[in-house]
Chain A
């Protein structure tokens, strides 16, 4: 039984870590701008494409990695300045539509550049190596992901709690207008948030695509949506919430992928039920349940409207 479940659990933890890194970007941006950044998943995909093209053009891998991360962060910064900042005073729906427009644009740009073909992700030594852990064979990246995720999250939480910009972020997410009145440079705070969020999405892309090996223009859509669900599940605006939510979703999704086999081996079903079809749908079912039962998520705070 354990040997059946364990590989799924392992890849669940790994994917969970990758979702967590993406989810932080969603949750931080939502916390400050109250915006679902629909383009965030696509930035994650673009980071993957950047790596592919940079490695193919002969840049050594050790240089590619930091370059990709920096470039991704720059892209995040530019998107905010171009597509969201001009709409600061606009209705919320307009900003959301702009985010969807950016998502559409990034996907079409990549489609144009790649010709819509699957791009093979470069093999990064060591983290692509195969290892055997507790009898299950997997890539090194599977083990590194959760560890790296936790290290980054701890660093981020420290940053938010102990630096000046971190405190400014917390202030802005608590009360946008008042923070502005108190002399906090809102635009700097927002830009920093986007830079951090996209940087982490860049890290996630390295881990994720090392595991899945190919990138295409739609590669970011599903992980992006799932990471967003993770952020909502954990309580939007809460970084620990996003991380916990992401791990739960990653694990659940992978267990469902193996549910047919697991249930069959346990003697609970007579034959395959095709339940793997629902591995993506499950995430959304979870979303709807949490929204219906506890819209503020696991760690979220209640926001009341003023009349």
Chain B
């Protein structure tokens, strides 16, 4: 059992891990390498660098710094978080871990899915949570929109409810070495989701139409905001709402960095990480 599992290894996650580790607590950082920071060509506005540094180098330095402090870092993808009374189970593509607290620090998608009809039919045939809403589509035609392990995870949950589950990759390819063999998928680019009272059709750019009863959105890698929606964490304008200690409305779940909104800057992410790390250390010591 970890005292804290941090999801995301960018500046917020690593800063949080350093503060938690320095409080002599057991912390695990899980994340993928595709962070927003790595895409920053040269950083010229962050304190302490006489010469600009690339985002990639700063990202790698952060990880090296954490490893030097014996912080456990795993390169894996989190696909689900489960809340069991006072502990949390973190499910990754390869494993499962348990923790007393969670820090959400995955950053935020800079290019959210923009398929016509998604907003219009939210809650009316379009859902973001297979566990919550799969129940309403027993033995019906279900679509999962997404192309990564997150979409595969959601599809696997839904296969317990219906035999008719299709992944729509929206023009992308499924992972080559995927965790589960998937045969029922469509790779065409989606033009729109259509329907009357409810979403009832996925229309591809080549005008092929697929009748569906329910659509679950699981694009890309699950972000902090995706986890928040499933767990019941309050959002404000798609940013995670936190209190002055960076804690969400679920006791024991904290959030830091871009996913909480405000300045999308390294300096702010580092502050959030430090603040949440100290708050988590205080909380765990009082459990």
B is a partner of A: no
